[in-house]
Structure 1
């Protein structure tokens, strides 16, 4: 089943569930909520009605819920006057009958007492109200001038007609109470609100009778509106489902096509999906961005892995060539040592002189040991590379100190020029090996009484270290292979330097590992070794307290 059809079925099921929930809400909850709301508004209205009358003394400008039946009674704490005020009238009653005055005093006394919500106030005043009725009936009957003669034909007890009586007392302060009484008959439900408040000089009662709504009155209206409500909900759900399907299925299909292009496009990178939907920023776009990021991350990892595999393949070839060359180079000292040992063992010819030729055996063994140590150190040092800020001039100075004996023996003058302290971001041990091999070669191949110049400083392309030894050059045929292992010139062998051709190879290998540019070329009757660094900085700028001026040229002459 396609996504659009699934979405339609889900939407219809959702519409049915929504309709059921709405029907249940409208039938069972909404009527009760409406009744509670109306009763709460009635309570609020009678309180506002009472407060407005208390402050103004009239109903002018006061909004009431039942303007024909609401009224307020103001009873002074002393005297025989009663003020009755409604929305459309205001009257003052003066009581002249002593019996009525007594009833008024008793009612005033009971009303001014602090009421107890658990007691029924209606029955406390019933005796006084019955007596009031008898007095009024007697007064009307004894008055011959009354224009109307009243004969009571029958008297019916209406208590059986009403049911579900309830009384609630709402206390807002010590002097303001609202009594909410409700009762219902077979047709309606009635509610009466009586507000009682006592001030310093008067007792105010406000009355609001209302017909309370019932939940059963609202349900038929809700049921009549259900067909239209269901049709509208269904139509809206179908339209929104159609629009949603177009908005979600189309981008998902495009995203699936985009993923297929990613799968097929191995050689050529696929452009980002966000370029097709520049104006959209929704979940589909977020998914597309995540997929694009994942694709480009995998592609970068794949390219990096290919590059790493290429480096490993090159390293394997280098190691294979290196091992073959090492094996070939080790054959010569091994054969020479064996020849010397056999001659001394068999006492053949001049080899009988053990004291003379035994040191030569040791010399051959030391040469082999040095070669093996350099081979082992070469790989171990490259595997534990640690980049840090290194002072190139200081490293060169330490390397010069290790060559001091050879320089003194050969009477070689060294000129060291440091224009400014040069800091390089590199591995200090590997950089020291590079400088040491270059200086060692310069010392070995410089004629006795020759000269070596060393310059350190910043150039246009970066930091630079230049080592130039005079009085010797490299044969042009040897320059292309100068960094290959076990390659050495005839001049060095003729001078008896004992070189086995690993120095420049090690320097070149470390330079590649550190991304350092190393070049060796012939000058005017000299050999120049130049090392260029990309990540450099002037140490004087980083450690201002370590030198007073970074622009001075430091020159040292060692003879």
Structure 2
């Protein structure tokens, strides 16, 4: 059932119940309330009359009673005044004028008065009640009796019953109009929110529900807007993550393709040389010569396999516990070996280390830096200089290169197994995975880095650490 129909049924049902209950309450309560209210008014009026005639002369008291007698606020009040012998002295009658009335006549007067005003008489049409009070007039005791009758209320009940159908119909018409207007106004906002949420379900961008106002509907619109923004943020994050995962998968596939080719060719060569030695074909009869070459090739392949194993562990860096350590202390220990290598190869090693605290995986970060140092040793020209500087937020490794990389070579230098044209020899150029592994480790740590050609013959690798 739609909300507008619910509003219509609820509002009209409430109107029907309320109108019916009000009229039923009036029908039941009104007669009793009317009787009690009029009785109270008549009693108050009777008390006032008693105060007015008390201790007055008889003639004056009769005039007051005559002036007060009659209908008072829709209530008929009549007075009787009896003397100490229970003889009516007010109102005047022919019986009272004759002085020779017998005792039997006096008793008849009392009977007439009693018949005229019955105590607490009630009927369906008229209700009456009597009040009695002793008063003193001209030093004699008199009894004042006040009788009042109520106007009939049965007609009012009939009027209520007659009014019920048109009043109910009028109320239902008003309720129908009110429910329609209310439903139209309230549902308009809900329909707008519903239309917007349908578009949101299709992930259309730049949508928001109208959240003006301070009621529950505006709060609902605000919650939907917040949910939509959070959903879009999560979707964007997942999309980036999926793209990153897809890119990594492509890179891994390409990496495996390249490495398998790198391993397949030398191994096929080794197998060919071994077959030649086994069957003593041509120059392969010289086993000592070709066994040494086979060993060299296998050592090179072993270096590649070792690098592959190191690369496979890079993906687990995020799962390793990170720590805060002083990079200066770590480098001082490692650079002792590099100082000896530089001296043997007649390189000039310049080292300037300041304190630098770094948050990361100590083992892998040190592996990346050692790969960079190995790369600098491999490609520094004869009698060249290697400059290592560590400050509070960055590490710089510079070397005088025998061959500076071009812009095209710098774009490819981090590709796995890539070697520049001047370093096709594995023995001189290593496995071709050192810079690739260093790049992967630095990116896992979210450290910014640059590798560029500076000055004339200098290559510089710069790592920027996050401030602790």
* TM-score (normalised: structure 1): 0.54
1:303-318 to structure 2, matched below 5 A, reads 303-318=236-251
Query: Tell me, which stretches of 5 or more residues in structure 1 are unaligned?
Result: 46-63, 72-84, 92-135, 139-146, 163-182, 193-208, 458-462, 540-559
Structure 1 residue 505 displacement after superposition: 0.8
Tell me which residue corresponds to 1:545: none
Tell me which residue corresponds to 1:223: 161
Tell me which residue corresponds to 1:188: 127
Change (3 A) 1:284 1:20: closer
For residues 242-277 of structure 1, the C-alpha deviation after alignment (integer angstroms, 9 at most, x for no partner) is: 4224424544555566567667885xx344342xxx
* 1:380 maps onto 2:320 in alignment: no
2:315 is paired with a residue whose SS is: helix
Tell me which residue corresponds to 1:453: 388
CA distance in 2, matches of 1:233, 1:287: 33
For residues 194-233 of structure 1, the C-alpha deviation after alignment (integer angstroms, 9 at most, x for no partner) is: xxxxxxxxxxxxxxx9999999786445335435532441
Q: 2:371, 2:434 within 8 Å by CA — same for their partners in 1?
A: yes
2:45 is paired with a residue whose SS is: coil
Structure 1 residue 332 displacement after superposition: 5.3
Change (3 A) 1:413 1:428: same
Change (3 A) 1:67 1:337: same
* 1:480 maps onto 2:415 in alignment: no
Tell me which residue corresponds to 2:333: 401
* 1:247 maps onto 2:185 in alignment: yes
CA distance in 2, matches of 1:453, 1:245: 77
Q: 1:337, 1:364 within 8 Å by CA — same for their partners in 2?
A: no
Q: 2:353, 2:391 within 8 Å by CA — same for their partners in 1?
A: yes
Q: 2:128, 2:150 within 8 Å by CA — same for their partners in 1?
A: yes
Change (3 A) 1:224 1:346: same
Structure in which a larger fraction of residues adopt helix: 2
1:464 to 391, 394, 413: 394
For residues 397-437 of structure 1, the C-alpha deviation after alignment (integer angstroms, 9 at most, x for no partner) is: 4255235323323326341333x64556x665654443332
Structure 1 residue 448 displacement after superposition: 6.8
CA distance in 2, matches of 1:495, 1:370: 15
Tell me which residue corresponds to 2:61: none
1:21 to 9, 12, 17: 17
Tell me which residue corresponds to 1:108: none
CA distance in 1, matches of 2:430, 2:85: 147
For residues 339-391 of structure 1, the C-alpha deviation after alignment (integer angstroms, 9 at most, x for no partner) is: 78778888975645999889758745642441331232133336x377x6745
1:439 to 373, 379, 384: 373
* Coordinate RMSD, CA, aligned: 5.4
CA distance in 2, matches of 1:505, 1:68: 114
1:484 is paired with a residue whose SS is: coil
CA distance in 1, matches of 2:442, 2:32: 88
Change (3 A) 1:253 1:454: same
Change (3 A) 1:21 1:254: closer
CA distance in 2, matches of 1:41, 1:510: 98
* 1:68 maps onto 2:45 in alignment: yes
CA distance in 2, matches of 1:223, 1:455: 102
Q: 2:327, 2:357 within 8 Å by CA — same for their partners in 1?
A: no
Q: 2:378, 2:429 within 8 Å by CA — same for their partners in 1?
A: no
Change (3 A) 1:225 1:332: same
Q: 2:317, 2:444 within 8 Å by CA — same for their partners in 1?
A: no
CA distance in 1, matches of 2:233, 2:446: 21
Structure 1 residue 324 displacement after superposition: 1.2
For residues 113-172 of structure 1, the C-alpha deviation after alignment (integer angstroms, 9 at most, x for no partner) is: xxxxxxxxxxxxxxxxxxxxxxx769xxxxxxxx998733477999xx88xxxxxxxxxx
Tell me which residue corresponds to 2:76: none
Q: 2:419, 2:432 within 8 Å by CA — same for their partners in 1?
A: yes
Q: 2:15, 2:175 within 8 Å by CA — same for their partners in 1?
A: no
CA distance in 2, matches of 1:531, 1:421: 12
1:8-407 to structure 2, matched below 5 A, reads 11=8, 13-14=9-10, 17-30=13-26, 66-70=43-47, 88=52, 151-153=106-108, 185-186=122-123, 187-188=126-127, 219-227=157-165, 229-248=167-186, 250-251=188-189, 254=192, 258=196, 266=204, 269-274=205-210, 280=213, 285=218, 288-289=221-222, 292-293=225-226, 295-331=228-264, 334-335=267-268, 338=271, 351-352=287-288, 363-364=299-300, 366-381=302-317, 384=319, 390=324, 394-395=326-327, 397-399=329-331, 401-407=333-339
Q: 1:340, 1:361 within 8 Å by CA — same for their partners in 2?
A: no
For residues 485-528 of structure 1, the C-alpha deviation after alignment (integer angstroms, 9 at most, x for no partner) is: 11235777779567201111122233444443322112343321
2:313 is paired with a residue whose SS is: helix
Q: 1:473, 1:527 within 8 Å by CA — same for their partners in 2?
A: no
Structure 1 residue 287 displacement after superposition: 5.3
2:390 is paired with a residue whose SS is: strand
Tell me which residue corresponds to 1:199: none
Q: 1:32, 1:215 within 8 Å by CA — same for their partners in 2?
A: no
Structure 1 residue 304 displacement after superposition: 3.9
CA distance in 1, matches of 2:247, 2:189: 46
